[in-house]
Amino acid sequence: MAKYKTKGLDCWGKAKELRMKYYKDYAEAHDRGALRWEGGAWTFDAIPQALEGEVHVLTEEPYGASCGANPEVQVRYQEAAEGKWGCARDLCAYLRSYWGSIVLDEFIFGGKWPKADFIFQNHICCSHAKWLQVAAELEGGKVPYFCFDVGVGAYDKIGERQINYVVGQLHDGIEFLEKATGRKLDDEKLIRNVYNTYRSACYWAKTCELNKAIPAPLDEKTMFSLYVLGTLEKSNEAMADFYEKELYPEVKDRVANQIAAVANEQCRMLGDSQPPWGFLRVFRYLEKYGVVSVASLYTFSLIGWWKVNENGNLVPYPTLEEQGITIKDRDHALRLLTEGELKGKLMWAPFYGATYKNDIVTKMAKQWKCDAAIIHLNRGCEGTAQHQMEMKIALANMGMPILTFEGNMADEREFDETRTHRLIDLFVSETLGLKKVAD
């Protein structure tokens, strides 16, 4: 007899639909005279998307993840990047799939590689700026390329000077966009996009906050398919509406009615980093033991914005509406966008030190009532894998049992499923002392 009620998400179909439309629009953009551009999931898409006319974006990491979810294709693309282009095998797994797609002139969603009209990127890890720099090279070297820097310090160090530096670059970026495309930036569109960005980011965080409930209404595996929309185009009205008006209310309702993600929840897990995309069944394996992954800095903060309140707790960042702010003009829009990204996106914080990551994950473990942690030591992404061993030490000091396993988010050649199962079996049965509760 299951411990809790459970059911699928009603808005699941809508999420799938939005995602597929996004990729279709990108592929068909030129057929309609629309612009298309390449950037990162962390790029401030509100800006290029404010160009007049129809504009579509391809964000690199979700594309890489889509390749990773299809191991046969992923290997072929990556071997093309390694063999034909000549890059090292330990580079970011997403990046290698992306480059390989271009080298083979294939788009994983069908057809040939859709070349971009321009590139608008920001620099986060060692790879991001270079990723699309090389992509531009592979696409013939003529694609206009703009990259801006956001490495100005963690969320508690953001002041006027830091915001001015980034906003200054964004103004330069707009000049670049207008020159590269021959189109003007529509300030009203920009303003709407910034409101939408806040809605996407803040309502995703509010949704994640609901996972504090016991039983958790969502499990991390499901959340991967939901946050992804924010990695595609946070500034998109339909995406923002999905987060605010469909997902968040539905999950709130699940909490009110004690509808669980996993019917036999008996152990709440803290995760970290991307999962091995081709092997998400690992989560289903864990669920046989009633283990559900309920929280993760990665899943919460890749698109979600948070702040640490006066009590030292992680709480969702407030939307512009909640702050009572009306955007006045272009500069104001850019400032607010920058402020939200730099202060709210806690995923930037580990880039500035292990103490930041440790602080956030230990707070998260307490607030989301996690019993244990499973850390995927992700060889495929240095950005999210930073300080994972320090995180382990910090959580162990809290008395939390932790399993680490090495793998790769999007390179199946680097993930040993059998071995991982062995480790999970040992951890779950011996260290956690759990018995199977489901088949």
Q: Is 352 in the site for another protein (CB under 8 A)?
A: yes
Query: Is the omega angle on the peptide bond into residue 215 within 30 degrees of 0, that is, cis?
Result: yes
Residue 90 CA to its chain's centroid (Å)? 21
Find out whether 194 and 332 touch, Cβ atoms under 8 Å: no
Q: Give the footprint of another protein on residues 35-54 (CB under 8 A).
A: none
Q: Which is nearer to another protein, 9 or 347 (CB)?
A: 9
Query: How far from 370 is each of 185, 366, 398, CA to CA, in Å?
Result: 46, 6, 11
Q: Give the footprint of another protein on residues 381-420 (CB under 8 A).
A: 382-383, 385-390, 392-393, 396, 401-402, 404, 406, 414
Q: Which is nearer to another protein, 237 or 414 (CB)?
A: 414
Q: Give the footprint of another protein on residues 159-178 (CB under 8 A).
A: 161-162, 164-165, 168-169, 172-173, 176
Q: Residue 312 corresponds to which tokens in the numbers above?
A: 């030292």
Listed in sequence order, the DSSP H helices in 219-258 are 220-233, 237-241, 248-256
Q: Give the footprint of another protein on residues 268-297 (CB under 8 A).
A: 277, 280-281, 284-285
Q: Which is nearer to another protein, 12 or 107 (CB)?
A: 12
Q: Which is nearer to another protein, 158 or 190 (CB)?
A: 158
Residue 362 CA to its chain's centroid (Å)? 20
- Residue 76 CB, shortest distance to another protein, in Å, is 17
**The Cα angle at residue 8 between residues 59 and 347, in degrees rounded to 5:** 35
Q: Give the footprint of another protein on residues 291-350 (CB under 8 A).
A: none
Q: Residue 278 corresponds to which tokens in the numbers above?
A: 């081709």
The DSSP symbol for 28 reads H
Q: Which is nearer to another protein, 33 or 86 (CB)?
A: 86
- Residue 224 CB, shortest distance to another protein, in Å, is 7
Q: Give the footprint of another protein on residues 222-251 (CB under 8 A).
A: 222, 224-225
Q: Which is nearer to another protein, 92 or 320 (CB)?
A: 92
Q: How many residues bind another protein (CB under 8 A)?
A: 88
E strands, 232-327, in order: 259-260, 267-271, 291-296, 306-308, 314-316
Q: Residue 215 corresponds to which tokens in the numbers above?
A: 């039983």
Find out whether 59 and 40 touch, Cβ atoms under 8 Å: yes
Q: Which is nearer to another protein, 1 or 142 (CB)?
A: 142
Task: Give the interface segment with another protein, choosing from 21-29, 120-128, 193-201, 204-212 (CB under 8 A).
Answer: 120-128
Find out whether 381 and 281 touch, Cβ atoms under 8 Å: no
Q: Is 191 in the site for another protein (CB under 8 A)?
A: no
